[in-house]
Chain A
Amino acid sequence: MANFSIIVVKRLFNAAALILAVVILNFLLIHIAPGDIVDTIAGEMGGISPELITQIRAEYGLDKPLYEQLALYVWKILQGDLGHSFFYDVPVVELIWDALPQTLLLVITALSLALVIGTILGVIAARRPNGAFSHFITVLALVGFSAPVFWTGIMFLIAFASFIPLFPPAGMADPGLEPGSLDYYLDVLHHMVLPVVTLALIYLAFYSRLSRASMLDVLGSDYIRTARAKGLSDRVVVYKHALRNALIPIVTIAGLQFAQILSGAVLVEAVFTWPGLGTLALEAILRRDGPTILGILFFSAMVVVIFNLLTDLTYNLIDPRIRIGSKE
C-alpha cells in the first residue's frame, strides 16, 4: 500500500496545481473581456461622471495593477473567501451556498432516474443483444447523447409548457406558497418535471448503453455458465447472478460522472430558469458581476478536479495488483 500513498500525494499535488491554473486563467479571461462592472453601473444610471468612475474603481480595487489584483484574489481564495458580488452585494460564497441545494436537487433526481431506468433498459437489451429493442437502445443512446441539452429543453418547453400546458415553464415554486407546506413541495415537484426529464434523458441514454455493455460482458463470463449448469432459470441467472456483477462498473462510473452532470445542469437551469448555480452563473455573466462569475467557475473547477481525483484513486484501488497486495 506504500505505493498507493505515493500515488495519492502525486495526484493531490497535481490537483492543487490544476486548480491554481484554472483560477489564474479564469481571472485573466474575465479581465481581458471588454467592459466591467463600472460600465454596467454607468449603463444603468444612464451616464456617469469620470470622477465617479475613478471612485467606483478604487472602491472595488479595480485601479490596482492586474498582478496585484490576481495575487490578492488567490490569497483570499486560500482563506475561503471568494470575494464580494458587485451586483448582489453579498459574499459570493453565500450566493453559491444558496444556489447549490436547488442544483443538487435537480442533478441527484435526474441522475437517480437515469441510473435506475437506464440500467433496466440496458439489462433488457442485453438479454437479446441482436433484438429490435437492443438496436433501439443503441439509437436512443446516440440521439440522447448528441442532441444538445438546451435544444431538448426548449423542445420540451414548447411541447409541454406552451403547446399542451401540462407543466410550468419556469421557476421552482409558486411565490405565493408558503415554503415548507405540502402544497409547496408538490408545486416544486411539478416544476421539476421538465428540467429533470431533460437532464435525465442524456444520462438515461448513457446509462442504458453502459449497462447493456456491462451486462453483455458479465453474461459471457464463466460463472454465468456455471449458474446455468446448476439448473437455475434464466430469470435467476440474469437478475441474481449477473446483475449484481454488472452493477459494479455502472455505480462506480455514476459516482464519478457527477461532476459532468453538474455542468450539464447549468444549461438546463438556464432554459427553465431554475434557481440554481446555472441560473446564478447566467445572471452574473449578464450583469458582468466578475467576482460571482469567478467564484462559480472556481467552484465548478473544484468539483471537477476533486471528482477526477476520486476517479483516479478509485481506479487505482480497483487495479487487481493493488487488490492482491491487500489480500490476506
Chain B
Amino acid sequence: MAEPLLEIKDLRVEFDTRDGVATVIDGLDISLYPGEILGIVGESGCGKSMTALSIMRLVPVPPGRIAKGTIRLDGEDLLQVSEKRMRGVRGNAISMIFQEPMTSLNPVFSVGDQIAETILLHEGGSKRAAWQRAVEMLDAVGIPVPEVRAREYPHQMSGGMRQRVMIAMALACQPRVLIADEPTTALDVTVQAQIFDLLKDLQKKTGAVIVLITHDMGAIAEMAQRVVVMYAGRKVEDGPVDEILTNPKHPYTTGLIGCVPHLSADPSEERVPLTDIPGVVPPMTRLGQGCPFAPRCSEAMDKCRLEMPTQSVVGEDHRVSCWLIENDGP
C-alpha cells in the first residue's frame, strides 16, 4: 500500500473529571491513505469525536489534553507544530464538518460571509473574489440559486441546507483531508442519502480523503473502503469494509453489524432477529486492566477480564484486538 497521508500513532487523550482522570482515547493507531474514504464506527461515547478533534488539535484544554502520541500529516507531526502553523492547517489542509448542522453555523453572519471568511483567511485575495468563490461552492454542493442563498442567514435554512453549507465551507480551500463527524445524524433519512451522495461525489472530484465518523454500519457499508471499529477509546478492529462485513472477528464488530438488519440477514436464509449489544459503554474513569468490552461480551474468558488483548493480524490489512483470535487465530 502507498504511504499514508495522515498517520495517528499511539494517541492518548485524557480528561480531568471530578472522578479522576478519564482516558477517553488510548493507544490509538489510524492511517489514512490517499483517495480513500475511511469509516470510524462505534457506539456513542467511544471517542470518535475526540479522535477527530485531536487531528484538528481542538481538544478542549483544560479539562482535556492530548497526553501522548503523534499525528503526522505528510510526515509533519501536528501535535508538535506551533499554534500558528496549526491554524494554517485547520480549514485549509484538514477541515471538519460537525454533527449538529443546526447550531454549527454562526447565527449573526450570512452563510456567504462565513464561507468567504475561510477563503480570505487561507488564500487572501479580494473580498469580491472570495464571495464569488463562496457562491460557486454553494452551487457545487447543490444549493439552488446560490447567489441569493449566500446572502441568507442560517436560520433561514433547513438542516440539510445548513449541512450543505458546512460542506461547502469545509471544501472551500481544497483540503486534503475532510473529517465528517456524523454529518447526517441530525437529518432525516432522505436528506441523509443526499448528503452521502454529495460527499461521495465531491470525494471523487476533489480527491480529498474523507474520514466518515458514524455509529451506523450501514453508512459505512455504503460509503467507506476501510473501517476502524472503536470501543471505549480504543481500536478493536480495522480492515477493508468488505472483509469486515463478511468476516468480522471481534464480538463487538459482530454486534454492531447485527444492529443493521440488511447487513446481517441474508434474504435466502431464515431471518435472524435484529440483535442489540447488551449493556453500555463503561465510565472512562473506571476501566479495569482487562478488555473494556469483556463485561458485555458473551464470549468473554477469564483472561479477557485480566489482560488487555494485543493486536493480531488476521488478514490482508485486517487487524483485531481480541483474545479469542489469539487463541484460535494464526
Contact = CB atoms under 8 A, between A and B. Distances in A.
Q: Does B bind A? A: yes
Task: Kindly state the interface size class of chain B when it binds its partner.
Answer: 20 to 34
Nearest to B119: A230
Interface in A209-229: 221-223, 225-229
Interface of A: 130, 221-223, 225-233, 241, 244-245, 327-328
Given A230-B169, A231-B121, A225 B104 contact: yes
B96 interface: yes
28 contacts: A130-B62, A221-B103, A223-B103, A223-B104, A223-B105, A226-B98, A226-B106, A226-B166, A226-B169, A227-B106, A228-B58, A229-B91, A229-B98, A230-B117, A230-B118, A231-B88, A231-B90, A231-B91, A231-B122, A232-B91, A232-B117, A232-B121, A241-B106, A244-B109, A245-B108, A327-B155, A327-B156, A328-B156
Interface of B: 56, 58, 62, 87-92, 95-96, 98, 100, 103-109, 117-118, 121-122, 155-156, 166, 169
Nearest to A244: B108
Given A225-B104, A232-B91, A244-B108, 12 more contacts: A222-B100, A223-B106, A225-B58, A229-B91, A229-B98, A231-B87, A231-B91, A231-B122, A232-B117, A232-B121, A241-B109, A327-B155
B108 A222 contact: no
Given A231-B91, A245-B106, A225 B121 contact: no
A226 B156 contact: no
Residue from A222, A230, A233 with most neighbouring chain B CB atoms (10 Å): A230
Nearest to B92: A231
Residue from B58, B117, B166, B169 with most neighbouring chain A CB atoms (10 Å): B117
B123 to A, nearest CB: 11
Contacts of B156: 327-328
Contacts of A223: 103-107
Given A222-B98, A327-B156, A229 B106 contact: no
Contacts of B58: 225, 228-229
Contacts of B98: 222, 225-226, 229
Contacts of A229: 56, 58, 90-91, 95-96, 98
A231 B118 contact: yes
Contacts of B117: 230, 232
Contact of A233 (B87, B109, B169): B87
Contacts of A327: 155-156
Closest 9 CB pairs of A and B: A231-B90, A230-B91, A231-B91, A222-B103, A223-B106, A231-B87, A222-B104, A244-B108, A230-B118
Given A229-B90, A229-B95, A232-B87, A245 B107 contact: yes
Contacts of B89: 231
Contacts of B118: 230-231
A228 B89 CA distance: 11
Contacts of A226: 98, 104-106, 166, 169
A328 B117 CA distance: 27
Contacts of B56: 229
B53 to A, nearest CB: 8
B242 to A, nearest CB: 32
Contacts of B90: 228-231
B6 to A, nearest CB: 16
A227 B166 CA distance: 11
Given A222-B98, A328-B156, A230 B104 contact: no
